[in-house]
Structure 1
């Protein structure tokens, strides 16, 4: 692996990158996330960028980054960001538009929901390859019996409620065709 200084001294130095060549997640042609990490662009030693596009009613699901802080910078539209402070147990909510930012410290739950028809934000991370832990993965992998033992909820009812979450969501809600496929045409569990 070459260091950034080695790369900067290379005769084949390239300081340009097209994020469209690296799709992190795509729900549809209006709701998607592009990424640029050190894997795609080695000169980024301790930096990564995600370019997020959302339409009204779509959200980047609740998640946290175990190895990176995140700074979200609004480019277009309007969004609601929520960050859960684990120290004070407060849910901090911000309605933001360009050129505002929201900071999510490493390990803190957060999410973003588009309020406008077209929203674009840039998420900047202080790690060359930020990890993401998704709430949909937690909900579908923790056995309902664990929730029953810890929180006193009915495991069978919870399993039925969580049944549609059968994969990582990243951008929600699922499309109508995806919902029909997952829970049936009647929309009943």
Structure 2
């Protein structure tokens, strides 16, 4: 029966076109969608600590299916990007202005964790591999930080972003207490909401 099914499939493939990708749809979109997006003039998402402007397949439709998105991050003094990771995307970060303090945590070929902590300034490029835990903050005391971020996904960043607040609060308090080796009461005053923070600010 398997041999017969394979022969039937082969016969159908000779007479019926099989569409296995969306290249045609992508090309049609490229021909119809505008190719210009005014990123820094776009309406920002405003957070305590800074703003985020994004060009993704929702805001810049020409990107649909292209596996690419760009974000412009502005962090006030004291502002920080919530510690997080992206399960399905890497990111390139180009520092435009200000100074950034970075932490990137990931596994390496020897099986060990490596925590890479460093500062980056104007003209510097920071690469974060897919799935690596990371964060950055404004390391300056007077000037804002501006960073341009490129992802290899066209989706809105929040669809590929797991923040530390949501990850932490998705676990029962007794599990957290066991892992950290502290009493459950140590977590009593921590808000339990499971939500993205994205950008916040030091008190």
Partner of 2:187: 158
Contact 2:170/2:194, CA 8 A, preserved across alignment: no
Tell me how many residue pairs correspond in the alignment. 170
Q: Calculate the aligned-residue CA RMSD, in Å.
A: 2.3
Shift of 1:148: 2.3
Check if 1:58 corresponds to 2:79. yes
Among candidates 31, 34, 43, match of residue 62 of structure 2: 43
Where does structure 2 lack aligned partners over 5 or more consecutive residues?
A: 1-21
Taking structure 1 as the reference length, the TM-score comes to 0.80
Shift of 1:80: 0.9
Alignment map for 1:36-185 (pairs within 5 Å): 36-44=55-63, 45-87=66-108, 88-116=112-140, 117-129=143-155, 130=157, 131-160=160-189, 162-163=190-191, 167-173=195-201
Question: Matches of 2:169 and 2:118 in 1, distance apart?
Answer: 28
Structure having the higher Rg: 2
Structure holding more helix per residue: 2
Taking structure 2 as the reference length, the TM-score comes to 0.75
Check if 1:6 corresponds to 2:28. yes
The farther-off stretch of 149-158 and 60-69 is 149-158
